[in-house]
Amino acid sequence: MKRVLIKLIRLVIYGILVPVTSFLATQLRLFSQSQQPKFTGAYWQKKWQAFRHYNWKQPKLADLKILFNIALKSTLFFLLAFAFFYLAVYTGLLGDIPSRGELKAMQNNTASEVYSSDNVLLGRYYIQDRTNIRYDEIAPAAIDALIATEDARFYEHSGVDARSVLRVFIKTLLLQQESSGGGSTLSQQLAKNLYPRKNKGLLAMPVNKLREIIIARKLESIYSKQELLELYLNTVPMGGNLYGIERASRRFFNTTADSLRTEEAAVLIGMLKATTTYNPRLNPERSEQRRNVVLGQMAKYQYISQQQADSLKQRPLKLRYRYITHNDGIAPYFREQLRLELVTWAARQRKKNGAPYNLYTDGLKIYTTIDSRMQSHAERAVNRRMALLQKQFDAHWKGRSPWGGDATVLQEAMLRSDRYKKLKAAGVSDAEAVAAFREAVPMNVFNWSGNTTRTMTPMDSLAYYQRFLNTGLLAIEPATGFVRAWVGGINHHVFKYDHVRSRRQVGSTFKPIVYAAALEQGIAPCSYFANERMTYPQYEDWSPRNANEQYGGEYSMRGALANSVNTISAQLILQAGVDQTIALAKRVGIQHDLPRVPSLALGTADLSLYEMVSAYATFANGGYKAEPVYVTRILDRNNTVLRQHHAGSASRRVLSRENAAIMLHLMQGVVEEGSAAKLRSEYGLKIDIAGKTGTSQEHADGWFIGITPDLVTGVWVGAESPKVRFRTLTEGQGSRTALPVWGEFMRRVTQDKTYADLRNSRFQPLPPRLLERLNCESFREEPPQPDNFFDRLFHNVTKTYDDWKNQSKSGRTKKERELDKKLEKRERKRQEKIREREKRNRWE
């Protein structure tokens, strides 16, 4: 191509430019040597008078020769100028001209799309809202309307319509009427859509027009007419960042491009003349008038009959407008989390040409593990239960602020707000920023009854939203690690923070990890532990107490976990070892650092719902750790696989099968006899359930993580600030805040016929050997005493040996063993006092 272009330029230079230039130079030299007067004002006035009084009826031959000479020179000059101008545009001196290769490989900026596991479109990432479709996916009425209105001779020309060019030359170039250009063919309009016009000053219009003609001719030589129509209707701007017939069909009529009715197609094609003026939502009357013009054009060129056109013109304009932002639609928190990860991932991948992928323009297809039906159930459960809980919370704090007189709550909220950050970025002082937060402005305010518009200050807005309780819900399939539902909050428009990933104090939901560590260290599940409040001097006189302040009796592991007995959790972590507990927590899925203190057993660590649900999934999966997965594959616009998840590739054993089964049995006790019992009575759930509730210090965080044979689901509930909470444990505990959301979600899922298998699934029955190990009561008032001295002596010796063996297994320090001996000595004295009291009672 370059060689041909070079030859053409040489031909123009040596065949036309050199002779013409030589001729003009000769004429100029002869003119300068003549005795003719110079081009002064008097000279031109004399010529004008001669022109006015010239006898045109009887022209002289010499004069005609002069006129012919002038006309010839003018024509040669204009031809020369146009040749220079054409070459300047064609070679790209006045703006880039794409090569044939570039036009063949042309790709539009196309949105990337996110799909659920059941092939439902969850959302899209884009700069230009566009979905490319094929020619056969466009309604014929839209094609007919386009040709009849925009380019009636489309099938007859090769990119340039001579009549249109003449009209543009006269009106646009000579008369400088930019608004009257309207003679471009569809191919030229396509060129303009693909390569937008640039401002070149006075030559902007001719340069852009000629550039579009050149590109149009190239397009016509590369693509068929059908392909050109497909390209055009995929690239045409429809207002704002909306592009293409498919997205316009979905936004204005909530349908696909192949399902457009004739009158709907006429509305969209009519918008092409002026996307704002004829926007059917903004200007319905003008849009209807323009629609009727398009229908008239269709009748004129016999795409429809005149009778059909007249009938369609009588129909009222009916829209089914549906504008979805990134805050709307299903799973917005999940899509945002995914976006953050995919932007980085795409930038590291390379196309064939070496350029990185762009999430917003390269039309990737991202297939996820999210189940759209289960996600909908989760979002509805959150909406219903959180609205009821918010009503209770507002009544609980009626007339008062949940944070009391603590002004730091609002101060911290202001510093975190986008408004404050923008003000500081603009160089505003702290005092000016605070003053700006005191100025009342109209706001669209969220509430559970429906959004309202209020006039309030930004500081009042912060105070208003600080009162809201929020939530996070995550459901994982334990065998595969597939994330099936992800709800990061109550409303993505207002509350952007994703509470699936946020870290909050986990409370008693950490206890199953402590119990599992104890089992791994050889402590028997039917060992009994005294429910006594004890002080541990080696840990700064730490003295854990039970939430209900009730002590006495002894619990097995099942009873202690079901009733969330803090005193026994403390004993277990000390017997199992803090380091061993932390090591197990890391293996089962906890990612963040944990404090190396025994209070960890009570859930003092700040962890995310994502980590905790992942850890519980290990118990449900027989001790195998399956990493959470939410992307199964990613395809490019040509359906080439860029990323593929291989099932089971990341699964590894981190807990023995027996101990995982025992943990499920222990956590079933929470549902059968503990804090989650109302899942049976109130929500009517008949499926096998294991789980654990959790409540943080000062009941700022409520948790429930439940396990069913095929699904592990966790729920967290709390306010943005931990200082905003219920005043009492009765109202603020996890069984009253988080568990209802879980119960509502599982009730909806089990009632859905789609999940019949889940509704009927059961945990695997325990083998007889394990059943025998677990055959003990959850609670007993006092331990049974041997009948005689020798039995008691044998019992004490055996107990001492077992304790020594357990201590050796757990790798306890010398200091810890000495502490245990002191505790045992204290326990023996207590038992002796009990026996003496019983003897006195018998004598009495």
**Integer Cα distance of 544 and 521 in angstroms:** 22
**Integer Cα distance of 190 and 218 in angstroms:** 12
**Integer Cα distance of 382 and 473 in angstroms:** 8
Which pLDDT belongs to residue 48? 65
**Integer Cα distance of 106 and 99 in angstroms:** 10
Which tokens belong to 838?
Answer: 């019983």
622 residue type, one letter: G
Residue 122, φ and ψ in degrees, nearest 5: -85, -40
Side-chain half-sphere CA neighbours of 635 within 13 A: 10
- Which residue has 């045109």 as its token pair? 56
The torsion angle over the Cα atoms of residues 681, 682, 684 and 686, rounded to 10 degrees, is: -50
Nearest to 236, CA basis, from 269, 294, 193: 193
C-beta of residue 148 within 8 angstroms of C-beta of residue 309: no
Which pLDDT belongs to residue 819? 58
Terminal Cα-to-Cα distance of the chain (whole angstroms): 119
**Integer Cα distance of 250 and 806 in angstroms:** 67
Taking the chain (844 residues) in consecutive chunks of 10 residues, what is each chunk's mean pLDDT? 51 50 51 53 66 61 64 71 67 70 76 95 89 92 92 83 67 54 75 74 70 80 89 89 92 94 94 92 93 94 93 93 85 96 94 90 95 97 97 94 88 90 88 90 89 90 94 96 97 94 96 97 95 92 92 95 96 96 96 95 96 97 93 94 81 92 96 92 92 94 96 97 93 96 97 90 91 93 59 54 49 57 60 53 38
C-beta of residue 272 within 8 angstroms of C-beta of residue 236: yes
SS (H, E, C) 660-685: HHHHHHHHHHHHHHCCCCHHHHCCCC
Nearest to 682, CA basis, from 759, 744, 767: 744
Instruction: Output the furthest CA–CA distance in the chain (Å, rounded).
Output: 159
C-beta of residue 503 within 8 angstroms of C-beta of residue 608: yes
Radius of gyration, CA atoms only, the chain: 40
Angle at 739 between CA 733 and CA 741, to 5 degrees: 125
pTM: 0.78
**Integer Cα distance of 100 and 835 in angstroms:** 101
C-beta of residue 266 within 8 angstroms of C-beta of residue 298: yes
Which pLDDT belongs to residue 130? 86
- Would you tell me how many other CB atoms lie within 10 Å of the CB of residue 564? 27
Which pLDDT belongs to residue 13? 47
**Integer Cα distance of 253 and 241 in angstroms:** 17
**Integer Cα distance of 68 and 66 in angstroms:** 5
Nearest to 754, CA basis, from 294, 22, 125, 118: 118
Residues in the chain: 844
Which pLDDT belongs to residue 810? 43
**Integer Cα distance of 248 and 252 in angstroms:** 6
317 residue type, one letter: L
Burial bucket for residue 646 (CB in 10 Å: 0-12, 13-18, 19+): exposed
C-beta of residue 671 within 8 angstroms of C-beta of residue 683: no
**Integer Cα distance of 790 and 126 in angstroms:** 82
Which tokens belong to 761?
Answer: 């699934």
Pairing between β-strand 121-125 and β-strand 365-368 as defined by DSSP bridges? unpaired
- Would you tell me how many other CB atoms lie within 10 Å of the CB of residue 642? 17
Which pLDDT belongs to residue 809? 43
The three-state secondary structure class of 818 is helix
C-alpha pair distances (Å), 149 with each of 145, 182, 280: 6, 11, 18
604 residue type, one letter: T
Which pLDDT belongs to residue 192? 81
**Integer Cα distance of 272 and 261 in angstroms:** 17
C-alpha pair distances (Å), 484 with each of 110, 448, 498, 612, 742: 27, 26, 16, 16, 14
Burial bucket for residue 179 (CB in 10 Å: 0-12, 13-18, 19+): exposed
DSSP state of 216: H
